Structure 1
Amino acid sequence: MRVETIYRYPVKGLSAEAMEEVTLTPGETLPHDRRFALAQGDAPFNSAAPGWMQKRHFGCLMANARLAHLHSAFDPRSGMLVIRAPEAAPFAGDTRTAEGRAAIAGFLAGFLGDEARGEPRFVEAPGHAFTDVAKKCVSIIGLASLAALEAKMGMALDPLRFRANVYFSGGLPWGEFDLLGEEIMLGGARLKVFKRIVRCAATEVNPVTAERDARPPQALREHFGHIDLGVYAEVLDGGRVAVGDALEPLRLI
């Protein structure tokens, strides 16, 4: 099995950033993955005492499909976040300062309009990641599983609908589910697969058009008896992972 693409999502709910390679660290996500989020005005998130919260507390595609219209780019060296909205000049905000974070929150709240609840905050907490599950991990999808879903739905599905970190080729459809509880080598890193990824309404959103033009969870249940696609894996031993690297169960090595 071969790694085909690697992505990180610096801001929860905003666009993906493709990576040719990445160095994984034990017990962590990809560097800068889900580092920031737009906390809705009524969200009880406390940056000084961060704890995991459900995605409904933050700007997310499940509730805010229009976020798919935005294209963002984050520079970890400068801390600058650039966001491009349709037919508008690029917006740039400094994530390192209170003023910059307030400006980013204001821009995103203005873009969301009535979907913004109260006065949203652009938040970060050192060591915290705004992941969909409480454990820091890497999300992995087999492209054969995606192809099986596409065949049943009779349409192509952009893999970015599913917002995974790693997409791999070469496996059997749903073969990644057989890795539950097992350790795998992903490039030079060792991980343990611990959970299937339950899919929600975020996958209905076309990442190009921002339209809800498909219902993957409904199709998964109808044709396969579950609403899962992909798996979560915890990094046990860090190492470099690059496009073209192998994904191999340790029992087969």
Structure 2
Amino acid sequence: MRIESIYRYPVKGLSAEALEEIALTPGRTLPEDRRFALAQGDSPFDLAAPAWLPKRHFGCLMVNARLALVHSAFDARTGDLILRIPGTAPLIANTRSEEGRAAIAAALTVYLGEEARGTPRFLEAPGHSFSDVANKVVSIIGLSSLRALEQASGMTLDKLRFRANVYVSGGSPWAEFDWIGQEIQLGQAKLRVLKRIVRCPATEVNPSTGERDARPPRWLRDHFGHADLGVYAEVIEGGRICVGDALEALEPAG
């Protein structure tokens, strides 16, 4: 199997950034992945004691489909975030300043309208990942599994609906489920596969239109008896991964 594409999502719920290569670090996510989030005004997230919370406490596609139309780009060197929100001029704000974070929160709050609850905050908590799971993980999808879902549903599905970090080609559908509890070699890095990714209504949202025009969780259950697509893996040995690199499942030791 080989890596076809690599993505990170600096702001939870906002657009993907494609990468040609990236260095993975043990026990960490992809650099900058889910680094920021828009916490709803009623979210109990505490910057002084950051802890994992379910996605409903933040701006997310499961609840806020219109976020699919917000295009974002993050510059890790300067801390600048560019937002292109439909109907408004591009916003460039610095995530390292209180003023910049407030401007980002205000712009997204106006765009969400009635979907914004209270006074949302644009947040970063150093060392914390606003991931859908508590572990710091890398998400991987086998494109053969996605093709099987497309064939069963009769609909072409943009892979970005599923917001994975790494998409790999080759292998048979659902082969990645066989890796649970095992180690894999991904480029120069070694990872341990932890569990399947259970799909939620976020995948119903078309990333190009912001419309809910598909039912992947239901189709998975109807055709395959589960609602899973892809796996989560933790980095246990760091190294660079590049588009075109191989993914190999490793034999259990001993």
CA shift digits 1:129-178 (9 cap, x unpaired) = 00001000000000000000000110100000000000000011000000
Q: Distance in 1 between matches of 2:186 and 2:153?
A: 30
**Aligned residue identity for 1:196:** R
C-alpha displacement of 1:120: 0.1
Q: Which residue of 2 aligns with 1:118?
A: 118
Q: Which residue of 2 aligns with 1:204?
A: 204
Q: Which residue of 2 aligns with 1:224?
A: 224
Q: Which residue of 1 aligns with 2:131?
A: 131
Q: Which residue of 1 aligns with 2:177?
A: 177
CA shift digits 1:162-199 (9 cap, x unpaired) = 00000000011000000000000000000000110000
Secondary structure of the 2:68 match is: helix
Give the paired residue count: 253
Secondary structure of the 2:251 match is: helix
TM-score of the aligned structures, taking structure 2 as reference length:
0.98
**Aligned residue identity for 1:106:** A
Q: Which residue of 1 aligns with 2:24?
A: 24
**Aligned residue identity for 1:88:** T
Secondary structure of the 2:15 match is: coil
Q: Distance in 2 between matches of 1:5 and 1:246?
A: 12
CA shift digits 1:81-130 (9 cap, x unpaired) = 00112242111111001111011000000000000000000001000000
TM-score of the aligned structures, taking structure 1 as reference length:
0.99
2:183 touches 2:252 (CA, 8 Å); kept in 1? Answer: no
Q: Distance in 2 between matches of 1:200 and 1:56?
A: 12
Q: Which residue of 2 aligns with 1:234?
A: 234
Q: Which residue of 1 aligns with 2:50?
A: 50
**Aligned residue identity for 1:233:** A
Q: Which residue of 2 aligns with 1:250?
A: 250
Q: Distance in 1 between matches of 2:168 and 2:57?
A: 31
Q: Distance in 2 between matches of 1:49 and 1:184?
A: 33
C-alpha displacement of 1:210: 0.4
Q: Distance in 1 between matches of 2:227 and 2:132?
A: 15
Matched, 1:165 2:165: yes
Q: Distance in 2 between matches of 1:84 and 1:98?
A: 20
Q: Which residue of 2 aligns with 1:147?
A: 147
C-alpha displacement of 1:252: 9.0
Q: Distance in 1 between matches of 2:117 and 2:12?
A: 17
2:25 touches 2:239 (CA, 8 Å); kept in 1? Answer: yes
**Aligned residue identity for 2:19:** M
CA shift digits 1:32-90 (9 cap, x unpaired) = 00000000000000111100000000000000000001100000001000011224211
**Aligned residue identity for 2:168:** F
Q: Distance in 1 between matches of 2:47 and 2:88?
A: 31
Q: Distance in 2 between matches of 1:226 and 1:168?
A: 21
Q: Which residue of 2 aligns with 1:62?
A: 62
CA shift digits 1:194-219 (9 cap, x unpaired) = 11000000000000000000000000
**Aligned residue identity for 1:70:** V
Q: How big is the alpha-carbon RMSD for the aligned residues of Structure 1 and Structure 2? A: 1.0
Q: Which residue of 2 aligns with 1:2?
A: 2
Q: Distance in 2 between matches of 1:74 and 1:100?
A: 13
For structure 2, the residue ranges without an aligned partner over 5 or more in a row are: none
Q: Distance in 2 between matches of 1:134 and 1:86?
A: 32
